[in-house]
């Protein structure tokens, strides 16, 4: 009987250690899972009477300085069609520790500089999908803000369906979601080679979006915009 108790105790102890090791391993995997990364999306609206070239040259230097400060990369696009005549900059980084190091770098004395733009926004976003290879010459930059009437779970399903439709039509898109900043929204960046290419992608995406929307009883989107942009740097 004593031997049986010893055997049972050994088995239960082994099982307990095995379960604990498995839980620790799951926690370590979750902690060590690689994030797709982050970006700061910024807009710079062209001031009335200002020259495109002056602001563009200034922002190219700002993009270069961002990389020198520690961003993995910075890209600059210019308005072609959409809500405002602006430049759009995106600077990429892997995690918030890297961002902290970037922000600790010495900054120019902006108080002594003449501001070349009429308004500015910046928004930290987290990547949800990565399908683009580099920075396309042209992009469709789309934004969707959720209706307060739907759940986060339903919003996630809607955005997945929406992203899949665009990805099929454009041959790949990068997805982003709000992390910190002025608005709660999801974003897609889809590339195209020119406006003939965009015309064909426009024809392809319509049926796919209608099919995606048919899965849901309501629109679920309180606000949406599409911006067509051209790359100016690098």
Out of 57-61, 101-105, 107-111, 206-210, least confident range? 107-111
Looking at residue 30, its pLDDT comes to 39
Looking at residue 24, its pLDDT comes to 39
Looking at residue 69, its pLDDT comes to 97
pTM: 0.82
Model confidence band, residue 28 (pLDDT cutoffs 50, 70, 90): very low
Yes or no: say if 78 and 232 are a contact pair by the CB < 8 Å rule: yes
Question: Cα–Cα distance between 29 and 41 in angstroms, integer?
Answer: 30
Alpha carbon 85 to chain centroid, angstroms: 21
**Span 95-140, pLDDT tens digits:** 999 999 999 999 888 778 888 899 999 999 999 999 999 999 999 9
Yes or no: say if 124 and 93 are a contact pair by the CB < 8 Å rule: no
Yes or no: say if 165 and 144 are a contact pair by the CB < 8 Å rule: no
What number does CATH give the domain 38-233? 3.30.70.100
CA-CA-CA-CA torsion for 156, 178, 199, 89, nearest 10 degrees? -170
Distances in Å between the alpha carbon of 70 and those of 66, 91, 109?
7, 10, 19
pLDDT more than 90, % of the chain = 76
Looking at residue 49, its pLDDT comes to 86
Model confidence band, residue 7 (pLDDT cutoffs 50, 70, 90): very low
């Amino acid at each position: 009987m004593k031997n049986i108790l010893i055997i049972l105790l050994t088995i239960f102890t082994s099982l307990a250690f095995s379960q604990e090791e498995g839980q620790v391993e799951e926690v370590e995997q979750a902690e060590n899972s690689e994030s797709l990364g982050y970006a700061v999306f910024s807009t710079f609206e062209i001031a009335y009477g200002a020259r495109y070239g002056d602001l563009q040259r200034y922002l190219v230097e700002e993009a270069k300085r961002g990389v020198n400060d520690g961003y993995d990369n910075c890209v600059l696009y210019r308005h072609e069609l959409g809500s405002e005549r602006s430049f759009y900059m995106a600077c990429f980084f892997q995690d918030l520790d890297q961002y902290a190091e970037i922000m600790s770098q010495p900054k120019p004395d902006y108080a002594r500089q003449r501001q070349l733009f009429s308004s500015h926004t910046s928004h930290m976003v987290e990547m949800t999908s990565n399908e683009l290879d580099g920075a396309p010459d042209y992009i469709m930059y789309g934004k969707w803000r959720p209706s307060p009437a739907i759940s986060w779970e339903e919003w996630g399903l809607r955005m997945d369906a929406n992203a899949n439709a665009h990805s099929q039509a454009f041959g790949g898109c990068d997805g982003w979601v709000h992390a910190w900043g002025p608005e709660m929204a999801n974003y897609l960046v889809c590339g195209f080679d020119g406006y003939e290419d965009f015309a064909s992608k426009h024809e392809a995406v319509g049926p796919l979006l209608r099919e995606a929307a048919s899965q849901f009883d309501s629109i679920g989107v309180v606000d949406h915009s599409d911006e067509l942009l051209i790359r100016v740097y690098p």
